[in-house]
Chains A and B, each alone.
Chain A
Protein backbone atom coordinates (compact mmCIF):
# COMPACT_ATOMS: atom_id res chain seq x y z
CA UNK A 1 0.00 0.00 0.00
CA UNK A 2 1.05 3.58 -0.63
CA UNK A 3 -0.09 4.83 2.75
CA UNK A 4 0.02 8.62 2.31
CA UNK A 5 -2.00 8.70 -0.95
CA UNK A 6 -4.32 6.08 0.51
CA UNK A 7 -4.97 8.22 3.61
CA UNK A 8 -5.66 11.24 1.39
CA UNK A 9 -8.15 9.19 -0.65
CA UNK A 10 -9.79 7.87 2.53
CA UNK A 11 -10.05 11.40 3.94
CA UNK A 12 -11.64 12.68 0.72
CA UNK A 13 -14.12 9.79 0.76
CA UNK A 14 -15.06 10.50 4.40
CA UNK A 15 -15.53 14.16 3.53
CA UNK A 16 -17.70 13.28 0.54
CA UNK A 17 -19.68 10.77 2.59
CA UNK A 18 -20.43 13.19 5.45
CA UNK A 19 -21.39 16.10 3.17
CA UNK A 20 -22.26 15.26 -0.44
CA UNK A 21 -23.34 11.76 0.59
CA UNK A 22 -26.43 13.40 2.13
CA UNK A 23 -27.60 14.33 -1.38
CA UNK A 24 -27.80 10.62 -2.16
CA UNK A 25 -29.60 9.88 1.12
CA UNK A 26 -33.38 9.44 1.19
CA UNK A 27 -34.34 11.06 4.50
CA UNK A 28 -38.11 10.93 4.44
CA UNK A 29 -38.77 7.19 4.41
CA UNK A 30 -40.95 5.56 7.10
CA UNK A 31 -38.18 3.14 8.15
CA UNK A 32 -35.57 5.89 8.47
CA UNK A 33 -32.89 7.37 6.23
CA UNK A 34 -31.45 5.18 3.49
CA UNK A 35 -28.13 6.16 1.98
CA UNK A 36 -25.03 4.66 0.44
CA UNK A 37 -21.76 4.13 2.30
CA UNK A 38 -19.08 5.43 -0.08
CA UNK A 39 -16.37 4.20 2.27
CA UNK A 40 -17.53 0.62 1.71
CA UNK A 41 -16.87 1.11 -1.99
CA UNK A 42 -13.31 2.27 -1.30
CA UNK A 43 -12.76 -0.64 1.09
CA UNK A 44 -14.07 -3.19 -1.43
CA UNK A 45 -11.87 -1.63 -4.11
CA UNK A 46 -8.87 -2.08 -1.80
CA UNK A 47 -9.97 -5.63 -0.99
CA UNK A 48 -10.23 -6.52 -4.67
CA UNK A 49 -6.84 -5.13 -5.62
CA UNK A 50 -4.50 -5.36 -2.66
CA UNK A 51 -1.89 -8.08 -2.84
CA UNK A 52 -1.29 -8.59 0.85
CA UNK A 53 -4.26 -9.37 3.09
CA UNK A 54 -2.69 -7.76 6.18
CA UNK A 55 -2.15 -4.50 4.25
CA UNK A 56 -5.79 -4.57 3.18
CA UNK A 57 -6.97 -5.20 6.73
CA UNK A 58 -4.88 -2.33 8.13
CA UNK A 59 -6.18 -0.02 5.37
CA UNK A 60 -9.79 -1.00 6.09
CA UNK A 61 -9.25 -0.61 9.84
CA UNK A 62 -8.19 2.98 9.15
CA UNK A 63 -11.27 3.60 6.98
CA UNK A 64 -13.55 2.12 9.63
CA UNK A 65 -11.88 4.20 12.34
CA UNK A 66 -12.53 7.36 10.33
CA UNK A 67 -16.22 6.41 10.16
CA UNK A 68 -16.26 5.82 13.91
CA UNK A 69 -14.84 9.30 14.43
CA UNK A 70 -17.40 10.98 12.21
CA UNK A 71 -20.54 9.15 13.37
CA UNK A 72 -22.30 9.97 16.60
CA UNK A 73 -25.98 9.10 16.27
CA UNK A 74 -28.38 6.47 15.08
CA UNK A 75 -28.94 3.86 17.73
CA UNK A 76 -29.70 5.70 20.93
CA UNK A 77 -27.05 7.34 23.03
CA UNK A 78 -23.89 8.64 21.36
CA UNK A 79 -22.32 5.72 19.54
CA UNK A 80 -19.10 3.95 20.55
CA UNK A 81 -15.77 4.21 18.77
CA UNK A 82 -14.16 1.00 17.55
CA UNK A 83 -16.85 -1.37 16.22
CA UNK A 84 -16.75 -0.04 12.67
CA UNK A 85 -12.93 -0.25 12.52
CA UNK A 86 -13.20 -3.87 13.68
CA UNK A 87 -16.07 -4.60 11.28
CA UNK A 88 -14.30 -3.13 8.24
CA UNK A 89 -11.13 -4.99 9.10
CA UNK A 90 -12.86 -8.37 9.22
CA UNK A 91 -15.16 -7.67 6.26
CA UNK A 92 -12.22 -7.08 3.91
CA UNK A 93 -10.98 -10.53 4.85
CA UNK A 94 -14.23 -11.90 3.42
CA UNK A 95 -13.74 -9.93 0.18
CA UNK A 96 -10.15 -11.15 -0.04
CA UNK A 97 -11.31 -14.76 0.29
CA UNK A 98 -14.25 -14.39 -2.10
CA UNK A 99 -12.40 -12.64 -4.90
CA UNK A 100 -10.68 -15.91 -5.89
CA UNK A 101 -14.04 -17.50 -6.61
CA UNK A 102 -15.41 -14.65 -8.71
CA UNK A 103 -14.71 -12.64 -11.83
CA UNK A 104 -13.68 -9.55 -9.96
CA UNK A 105 -13.48 -7.38 -13.11
CA UNK A 106 -17.19 -7.83 -13.74
CA UNK A 107 -19.82 -5.49 -12.32
CA UNK A 108 -22.12 -8.10 -10.80
CA UNK A 109 -19.51 -9.81 -8.56
CA UNK A 110 -18.29 -6.38 -7.48
CA UNK A 111 -21.82 -5.40 -6.53
CA UNK A 112 -22.32 -8.66 -4.68
CA UNK A 113 -19.12 -8.17 -2.70
CA UNK A 114 -20.03 -4.54 -1.88
CA UNK A 115 -23.46 -5.68 -0.64
CA UNK A 116 -21.96 -8.47 1.48
CA UNK A 117 -19.28 -6.14 2.86
CA UNK A 118 -21.88 -3.52 3.75
CA UNK A 119 -24.20 -6.07 5.35
CA UNK A 120 -21.37 -7.58 7.39
CA UNK A 121 -19.76 -4.41 8.75
CA UNK A 122 -22.95 -2.35 9.17
CA UNK A 123 -24.80 -5.31 10.67
CA UNK A 124 -21.95 -5.82 13.12
CA UNK A 125 -21.88 -2.10 13.96
CA UNK A 126 -25.65 -1.93 14.53
CA UNK A 127 -25.56 -5.06 16.71
CA UNK A 128 -22.71 -3.82 18.92
CA UNK A 129 -24.18 -0.32 19.28
CA UNK A 130 -27.62 -1.73 20.14
CA UNK A 131 -26.10 -4.07 22.74
CA UNK A 132 -24.41 -1.10 24.41
CA UNK A 133 -27.38 1.28 24.12
CA UNK A 134 -29.34 1.44 27.37
CA UNK A 135 -32.68 1.86 25.59
CA UNK A 136 -32.02 -0.52 22.70
CA UNK A 137 -35.08 -2.62 21.84
CA UNK A 138 -35.80 -5.43 19.36
CA UNK A 139 -38.17 -3.16 17.43
CA UNK A 140 -35.46 -0.54 16.93
CA UNK A 141 -32.92 -3.24 16.10
CA UNK A 142 -35.24 -4.77 13.49
CA UNK A 143 -35.88 -1.38 11.93
CA UNK A 144 -32.13 -0.66 11.79
CA UNK A 145 -31.37 -4.05 10.23
CA UNK A 146 -33.95 -3.31 7.53
CA UNK A 147 -32.19 0.02 6.92
CA UNK A 148 -28.87 -1.83 6.71
CA UNK A 149 -30.21 -4.28 4.11
CA UNK A 150 -31.66 -1.57 1.87
CA UNK A 151 -28.58 0.65 2.30
CA UNK A 152 -26.38 -2.34 1.36
CA UNK A 153 -28.32 -2.83 -1.88
CA UNK A 154 -28.13 0.90 -2.61
CA UNK A 155 -24.37 0.94 -1.90
CA UNK A 156 -23.83 -2.12 -4.11
CA UNK A 157 -25.50 -0.36 -7.05
CA UNK A 158 -22.82 2.35 -6.94
CA UNK A 159 -19.91 -0.10 -6.83
CA UNK A 160 -19.27 -0.46 -10.60
CA UNK A 161 -19.22 3.33 -11.00
CA UNK A 162 -16.76 3.89 -8.16
CA UNK A 163 -14.62 0.98 -9.36
CA UNK A 164 -14.56 2.56 -12.83
CA UNK A 165 -13.53 5.94 -11.37
CA UNK A 166 -10.90 4.50 -9.03
CA UNK A 167 -9.26 2.09 -11.47
CA UNK A 168 -7.06 4.79 -13.11
CA UNK A 169 -5.86 5.79 -9.61
CA UNK A 170 -5.17 2.20 -8.54
CA UNK A 171 -1.41 2.55 -8.90
CA UNK A 172 -1.44 5.63 -6.66
CA UNK A 173 -3.09 3.78 -3.77
CA UNK A 174 -1.77 0.25 -4.10
CA UNK A 175 1.96 -0.26 -4.75
CA UNK A 176 1.72 -3.81 -6.08
CA UNK A 177 -1.63 -4.67 -7.53
CA UNK A 178 -2.74 -8.29 -7.31
CA UNK A 179 -2.74 -9.85 -10.77
CA UNK A 180 -4.28 -13.06 -11.99
CA UNK A 181 -1.92 -15.90 -12.90
CA UNK A 182 -2.52 -18.35 -15.79
CA UNK A 183 -4.10 -20.78 -13.35
CA UNK A 184 -6.57 -18.13 -12.30
CA UNK A 185 -5.06 -17.62 -8.85
CA UNK A 186 -4.35 -14.10 -7.63
CA UNK A 187 -0.86 -13.09 -6.60
Chain B
Protein backbone atom coordinates (compact mmCIF):
# COMPACT_ATOMS: atom_id res chain seq x y z
CA UNK B 1 0.00 0.00 0.00
CA UNK B 2 1.44 3.36 -0.98
CA UNK B 3 0.68 6.57 0.89
CA UNK B 4 0.83 9.81 -1.10
CA UNK B 5 1.98 12.66 1.14
CA UNK B 6 -0.33 15.67 1.24
CA UNK B 7 0.93 19.06 0.01
CA UNK B 8 0.75 20.49 3.52
CA UNK B 9 2.91 17.66 4.83
CA UNK B 10 5.39 18.20 1.98
CA UNK B 11 5.57 21.90 2.80
CA UNK B 12 6.09 21.13 6.49
CA UNK B 13 8.94 18.74 5.67
CA UNK B 14 10.56 21.30 3.35
CA UNK B 15 10.37 24.05 5.98
CA UNK B 16 11.82 21.73 8.60
CA UNK B 17 14.58 20.74 6.17
CA UNK B 18 15.50 24.38 5.55
CA UNK B 19 15.71 25.03 9.31
CA UNK B 20 17.92 21.97 9.82
CA UNK B 21 20.15 22.89 6.85
CA UNK B 22 20.67 26.37 8.30
CA UNK B 23 22.50 24.79 11.22
CA UNK B 24 24.90 22.85 8.98
CA UNK B 25 28.47 24.16 9.17
CA UNK B 26 29.71 26.40 6.32
CA UNK B 27 32.04 23.58 5.23
CA UNK B 28 29.12 21.13 4.94
CA UNK B 29 27.05 23.77 3.15
CA UNK B 30 29.95 24.22 0.75
CA UNK B 31 30.05 20.49 0.05
CA UNK B 32 26.27 20.46 -0.64
CA UNK B 33 26.67 23.42 -3.02
CA UNK B 34 29.61 21.73 -4.74
CA UNK B 35 27.48 18.67 -5.48
CA UNK B 36 25.20 20.83 -7.62
CA UNK B 37 27.81 22.98 -9.42
CA UNK B 38 27.40 20.77 -12.48
CA UNK B 39 23.82 21.94 -12.96
CA UNK B 40 24.78 25.57 -13.46
CA UNK B 41 28.37 25.59 -14.76
CA UNK B 42 27.88 24.29 -18.34
CA UNK B 43 24.93 26.55 -19.13
CA UNK B 44 26.37 29.68 -17.55
CA UNK B 45 29.38 30.07 -19.84
CA UNK B 46 27.64 31.91 -22.68
CA UNK B 47 25.82 34.26 -20.32
CA UNK B 48 29.00 35.04 -18.40
CA UNK B 49 30.83 35.70 -21.67
CA UNK B 50 28.24 38.32 -22.58
CA UNK B 51 28.28 39.78 -19.07
CA UNK B 52 32.07 40.21 -18.96
CA UNK B 53 32.06 41.80 -22.44
CA UNK B 54 29.45 44.33 -21.33
CA UNK B 55 31.23 45.01 -18.03
CA UNK B 56 34.53 45.61 -19.83
CA UNK B 57 32.92 48.05 -22.24
CA UNK B 58 31.12 49.95 -19.47
CA UNK B 59 34.13 50.42 -17.22
CA UNK B 60 33.87 53.99 -15.82
CA UNK B 61 36.59 56.47 -16.79
CA UNK B 62 37.20 59.93 -15.44
CA UNK B 63 36.76 62.79 -17.94
CA UNK B 64 39.94 64.54 -19.10
CA UNK B 65 39.95 68.27 -19.81
CA UNK B 66 41.65 69.78 -22.88
CA UNK B 67 44.48 71.25 -20.77
CA UNK B 68 45.04 67.93 -19.04
CA UNK B 69 45.12 66.18 -22.43
CA UNK B 70 47.84 68.57 -23.69
CA UNK B 71 49.82 68.13 -20.50
CA UNK B 72 49.52 64.34 -20.71
CA UNK B 73 50.62 64.42 -24.34
CA UNK B 74 53.75 66.45 -23.54
CA UNK B 75 54.55 64.21 -20.57
CA UNK B 76 54.01 61.14 -22.72
CA UNK B 77 56.44 62.38 -25.37
CA UNK B 78 59.11 63.08 -22.75
CA UNK B 79 58.51 59.72 -21.09
CA UNK B 80 58.56 57.93 -24.43
CA UNK B 81 61.98 59.40 -25.23
CA UNK B 82 63.23 58.40 -21.77
CA UNK B 83 61.79 54.92 -22.19
CA UNK B 84 63.46 54.47 -25.59
CA UNK B 85 66.80 55.56 -24.13
CA UNK B 86 66.43 53.32 -21.08
CA UNK B 87 65.25 50.36 -23.14
CA UNK B 88 68.31 50.54 -25.39
CA UNK B 89 70.53 50.82 -22.31
CA UNK B 90 68.67 47.99 -20.62
CA UNK B 91 69.00 45.76 -23.66
CA UNK B 92 72.76 46.13 -23.59
CA UNK B 93 72.88 45.44 -19.85
CA UNK B 94 70.47 42.52 -20.14
CA UNK B 95 72.66 40.94 -22.78
CA UNK B 96 75.62 41.25 -20.43
CA UNK B 97 73.63 39.80 -17.51
CA UNK B 98 72.23 36.92 -19.56
CA UNK B 99 75.70 36.12 -20.81
CA UNK B 100 77.13 36.15 -17.30
CA UNK B 101 74.20 34.13 -15.90
CA UNK B 102 74.56 31.52 -18.60
CA UNK B 103 78.22 31.19 -17.83
CA UNK B 104 77.55 30.87 -14.06
CA UNK B 105 74.65 28.46 -14.62
CA UNK B 106 76.74 26.32 -16.91
CA UNK B 107 79.54 26.31 -14.36
CA UNK B 108 77.53 25.59 -11.21
CA UNK B 109 74.17 24.30 -12.50
CA UNK B 110 72.06 26.12 -9.88
CA UNK B 111 68.41 26.50 -10.79
CA UNK B 112 65.42 27.73 -8.79
CA UNK B 113 61.84 27.22 -9.87
CA UNK B 114 58.64 28.38 -8.21
CA UNK B 115 57.03 25.17 -6.93
CA UNK B 116 53.57 25.78 -8.33
CA UNK B 117 51.54 24.69 -11.30
CA UNK B 118 49.09 27.02 -13.04
CA UNK B 119 45.73 25.57 -14.01
CA UNK B 120 43.74 27.66 -16.49
CA UNK B 121 40.11 28.31 -15.61
CA UNK B 122 37.22 30.41 -16.78
CA UNK B 123 34.46 32.18 -14.88
CA UNK B 124 31.16 30.57 -15.87
CA UNK B 125 28.74 31.95 -13.32
CA UNK B 126 28.40 34.27 -10.34
CA UNK B 127 26.40 34.50 -7.12
CA UNK B 128 22.62 34.66 -7.35
CA UNK B 129 22.48 37.48 -4.83
CA UNK B 130 24.26 40.80 -5.38
CA UNK B 131 25.81 40.99 -1.90
CA UNK B 132 28.71 38.58 -2.39
CA UNK B 133 31.81 38.54 -4.55
CA UNK B 134 32.21 34.91 -5.60
CA UNK B 135 32.43 33.23 -9.01
CA UNK B 136 32.05 29.67 -10.29
CA UNK B 137 35.04 28.37 -12.31
CA UNK B 138 35.08 25.57 -14.87
CA UNK B 139 38.10 23.85 -13.31
CA UNK B 140 37.74 21.46 -10.40
CA UNK B 141 39.27 18.58 -8.50
CA UNK B 142 39.93 16.64 -11.70
CA UNK B 143 42.36 19.43 -12.58
CA UNK B 144 43.81 19.39 -9.00
CA UNK B 145 41.89 22.46 -7.79
CA UNK B 146 41.31 22.40 -4.01
CA UNK B 147 39.79 24.88 -1.52
CA UNK B 148 42.38 27.34 -0.22
CA UNK B 149 44.35 27.63 -3.45
CA UNK B 150 45.15 31.10 -4.75
CA UNK B 151 43.74 32.33 -8.05
CA UNK B 152 45.36 34.93 -10.31
CA UNK B 153 44.33 36.71 -13.45
CA UNK B 154 45.14 35.30 -16.84
CA UNK B 155 45.22 38.07 -19.37
CA UNK B 156 45.10 36.88 -22.93
CA UNK B 157 45.87 38.93 -25.99
CA UNK B 158 42.72 37.64 -27.59
CA UNK B 159 39.53 35.89 -26.57
CA UNK B 160 36.95 34.55 -28.98
CA UNK B 161 36.70 37.27 -31.58
CA UNK B 162 39.59 36.00 -33.71
CA UNK B 163 40.48 32.50 -34.70
CA UNK B 164 44.08 31.80 -33.80
CA UNK B 165 46.23 28.68 -33.73
CA UNK B 166 46.50 26.71 -30.49
CA UNK B 167 48.76 28.02 -27.72
CA UNK B 168 49.24 31.41 -29.31
CA UNK B 169 47.51 33.24 -26.47
CA UNK B 170 50.08 35.38 -24.68
CA UNK B 171 50.02 35.98 -20.96
CA UNK B 172 50.74 39.40 -19.59
CA UNK B 173 50.70 40.95 -16.11
CA UNK B 174 49.20 38.91 -13.30
CA UNK B 175 47.49 39.84 -10.07
CA UNK B 176 45.81 37.89 -7.29
CA UNK B 177 42.03 37.85 -7.65
CA UNK B 178 40.99 35.50 -4.86
CA UNK B 179 41.02 32.03 -3.41
CA UNK B 180 39.02 28.85 -3.93
CA UNK B 181 36.47 28.08 -1.24
CA UNK B 182 34.66 25.06 -2.71
CA UNK B 183 35.59 22.48 -5.29
CA UNK B 184 33.71 19.76 -7.12
CA UNK B 185 34.89 17.34 -9.80
CA UNK B 186 34.88 19.81 -12.69
CA UNK B 187 34.04 23.13 -11.03
CA UNK B 188 35.18 25.25 -8.12
CA UNK B 189 34.01 28.41 -6.38
CA UNK B 190 36.30 31.41 -6.28
CA UNK B 191 36.01 33.94 -3.46
CA UNK B 192 37.21 37.26 -4.84
CA UNK B 193 39.56 39.47 -2.81
CA UNK B 194 36.77 42.02 -2.39
CA UNK B 195 34.35 39.61 -0.68
CA UNK B 196 33.69 40.36 2.99
CA UNK B 197 34.89 36.89 3.96
CA UNK B 198 38.27 37.19 2.25
CA UNK B 199 41.31 37.60 4.52
CA UNK B 200 44.94 37.25 3.54
CA UNK B 201 48.35 37.90 5.03
CA UNK B 202 50.14 40.17 2.59
CA UNK B 203 52.71 42.94 2.34
CA UNK B 204 52.85 46.54 1.23
CA UNK B 205 55.62 47.43 -1.21
CA UNK B 206 56.38 51.14 -0.92
CA UNK B 207 56.97 52.82 -4.24
CA UNK B 208 60.01 55.11 -4.22
CA UNK B 209 59.41 58.40 -6.00
CA UNK B 210 62.66 60.46 -6.24
CA UNK B 211 60.63 63.66 -6.69
CA UNK B 212 58.74 63.06 -3.46
CA UNK B 213 60.99 61.28 -0.92
CA UNK B 214 59.56 59.99 2.34
CA UNK B 215 60.94 59.43 5.79
CA UNK B 216 60.45 56.09 7.50
CA UNK B 217 61.58 54.47 10.69
CA UNK B 218 64.47 52.08 10.15
CA UNK B 219 66.23 50.44 13.10
CA UNK B 220 64.91 52.93 15.65
CA UNK B 221 65.70 56.06 13.67
CA UNK B 222 64.07 58.05 10.94
CA UNK B 223 65.65 57.83 7.50
CA UNK B 224 64.78 58.72 3.96
CA UNK B 225 63.39 55.66 2.20
CA UNK B 226 65.92 54.17 -0.23
CA UNK B 227 65.92 50.85 -2.09
CA UNK B 228 68.42 49.51 0.45
CA UNK B 229 66.07 49.89 3.43
CA UNK B 230 62.78 49.47 1.57
CA UNK B 231 61.57 46.29 3.19
CA UNK B 232 57.94 45.27 2.59
CA UNK B 233 55.50 46.01 5.42
CA UNK B 234 53.61 42.91 6.56
CA UNK B 235 49.86 43.45 6.85
CA UNK B 236 46.53 41.61 6.89
CA UNK B 237 44.10 42.62 4.16
CA UNK B 238 40.37 41.89 4.20
CA UNK B 239 37.72 42.38 1.53
CA UNK B 240 35.33 45.26 2.22
CA UNK B 241 32.38 43.88 0.20
CA UNK B 242 32.24 47.08 -1.83
CA UNK B 243 34.83 46.45 -4.53
CA UNK B 244 37.97 47.07 -2.46
CA UNK B 245 40.14 45.79 0.38
CA UNK B 246 40.82 47.24 3.81
CA UNK B 247 44.12 47.03 5.69
CA UNK B 248 43.76 47.99 9.33
CA UNK B 249 46.20 48.87 12.09
CA UNK B 250 49.24 49.80 10.02
CA UNK B 251 51.86 51.81 11.95
CA UNK B 252 52.18 55.44 10.85
CA UNK B 253 55.99 55.20 11.01
CA UNK B 254 55.89 53.03 7.89
CA UNK B 255 54.67 56.14 6.08
CA UNK B 256 52.56 54.29 3.55
CA UNK B 257 51.11 56.49 0.82
CA UNK B 258 48.58 56.32 -1.93
CA UNK B 259 50.05 54.46 -4.88
CA UNK B 260 51.94 51.86 -2.82
CA UNK B 261 51.32 48.25 -3.82
CA UNK B 262 49.63 45.47 -1.86
CA UNK B 263 51.23 42.12 -2.69
CA UNK B 264 51.12 38.50 -1.62
CA UNK B 265 53.97 37.41 0.63
CA UNK B 266 56.76 35.38 -0.96
CA UNK B 267 56.89 33.08 2.10
CA UNK B 268 53.27 32.04 1.59
CA UNK B 269 53.17 28.27 0.91
CA UNK B 270 50.27 28.50 -1.54
CA UNK B 271 51.73 31.22 -3.73
CA UNK B 272 55.43 31.70 -2.93
CA UNK B 273 55.98 34.87 -4.95
CA UNK B 274 55.07 38.53 -4.52
CA UNK B 275 52.04 38.89 -6.78
CA UNK B 276 50.27 42.23 -6.86
CA UNK B 277 46.79 42.39 -5.31
CA UNK B 278 46.04 46.09 -5.56
CA UNK B 279 47.12 49.68 -5.08
CA UNK B 280 46.64 51.78 -1.95
CA UNK B 281 44.01 54.33 -2.94
CA UNK B 282 43.24 55.99 0.41
CA UNK B 283 45.16 56.37 3.66
CA UNK B 284 43.39 57.62 6.76
CA UNK B 285 44.05 57.75 10.49
CA UNK B 286 42.59 55.03 12.68
CA UNK B 287 40.53 56.91 15.32
CA UNK B 288 40.43 53.89 17.64
CA UNK B 289 44.18 53.22 17.59
CA UNK B 290 46.46 56.28 17.85
CA UNK B 291 49.65 55.92 15.84
CA UNK B 292 47.93 53.59 13.42
CA UNK B 293 46.30 54.12 10.07
CA UNK B 294 43.83 52.31 7.86
CA UNK B 295 44.42 51.75 4.15
CA UNK B 296 41.88 51.31 1.40
CA UNK B 297 43.16 49.24 -1.49
CA UNK B 298 41.74 49.14 -5.01
CA UNK B 299 42.26 45.76 -6.69
CA UNK B 300 44.55 45.70 -9.72
CA UNK B 301 42.18 43.49 -11.69
CA UNK B 302 38.83 44.56 -13.04
CA UNK B 303 36.94 42.01 -10.94
CA UNK B 304 33.37 42.56 -12.25
CA UNK B 305 34.69 41.75 -15.74
CA UNK B 306 36.87 38.82 -14.63
CA UNK B 307 36.85 35.97 -17.12
CA UNK B 308 40.12 34.03 -17.52
CA UNK B 309 42.07 32.95 -14.44
CA UNK B 310 44.90 30.71 -13.27
CA UNK B 311 44.47 28.47 -10.24
CA UNK B 312 47.80 28.20 -8.45
CA UNK B 313 48.33 24.56 -7.45
CA UNK B 314 51.33 23.91 -5.21
CA UNK B 315 53.48 21.09 -6.54
CA UNK B 316 53.63 17.82 -4.61
CA UNK B 317 55.19 18.17 -1.18
CA UNK B 318 54.07 21.77 -0.71
CA UNK B 319 51.55 22.18 2.09
CA UNK B 320 48.71 24.64 1.73
CA UNK B 321 47.60 25.29 5.25
CA UNK B 322 46.45 28.92 5.07
CA UNK B 323 43.18 28.33 3.27
CA UNK B 324 40.53 30.87 2.47
CA UNK B 325 38.49 30.40 5.62
Contact = CB atoms under 8 A, between A and B. Distances in A.
B43 A15 contact: yes
A84 to B, nearest CB: 8
B185 interface: no
Interface string B192-236: 100111000000000000000000000000000000000000000
Contacts of B47: 15-16, 18-20
Most buried by A among B26, B54, B134, B303: B26
Give the bracket for the number of chain A residues in contact with chain B: 35 or more
Interface string B7-20: 11011001101111
Given A72-B33, A140-B196, A80 B21 contact: yes
A18 B18 CA distance: 22
Most buried by B among A14, A22, A81, A83: A22
A35 B50 contact: no
A109 interface: no
A44 to B, nearest CB: 16
Contacts of A18: 40, 44, 47, 125-128, 136
B276 interface: no
Contact of B304 (A27, A39, A55, A81): A27
Contact of B48 (A17, A19, A34, A83): A19
Contact of A69 (B36, B51, B132, B242): B36
Given A16-B47, A19-B47, A33 B131 contact: yes
B7 A52 contact: yes
Contacts of B15: 61, 86, 89
A127 B47 CA distance: 31
Interface string B117-129: 0000000111111
Interface in A80-112: 80-83, 85-86, 89
Q: Is the interface of A mostly helix, strand, loop or mixed?
A: helix
B32 A81 contact: yes
Interface string A25-53: 10111111111110100000000000010
Interface in A59-73: 61, 64-73
B133 interface: yes
B191 A61 contact: no
A19 B18 contact: no
Contacts of B22: 80-83, 86, 128, 132
B315 to A, nearest CB: 27
Contacts of B134: 71-73
B24 interface: yes
A131 to B, nearest CB: 10
B29 A80 contact: yes
Interface stretch (A143-151, A157-165, A166-174): A143-151
B130 interface: yes
Contacts of A22: 48, 51, 55, 126, 304
Interface in A116-152: 122, 125-126, 128, 132, 140, 143-144, 147, 151
Contacts of B19: 82, 86
A23 interface: yes
Interface in B48-83: 48, 50-51, 54-55, 60
B189 interface: yes
A78 B325 contact: yes
Nearest to A144: B131
A80 B27 CA distance: 9
Contacts of A15: 40, 43-44, 47, 125
A34 B241 CA distance: 11
Nearest to B25: A80
Interface of B: 7-8, 10-11, 14-15, 17-24, 26-27, 29-30, 32-33, 36, 39-40, 43-44, 46-48, 50-51, 54-55, 60, 124-134, 136, 181-182, 189, 191-192, 195-197, 241-243, 303-304, 325
30 contacts: A16-B47, A18-B47, A18-B127, A19-B46, A19-B48, A21-B126, A23-B51, A25-B130, A30-B242, A34-B130, A54-B8, A57-B11, A61-B11, A70-B125, A72-B30, A72-B189, A73-B192, A74-B132, A75-B196, A76-B197, A78-B27, A80-B23, A81-B32, A82-B18, A82-B19, A89-B14, A89-B18, A143-B241, A144-B131, A151-B130
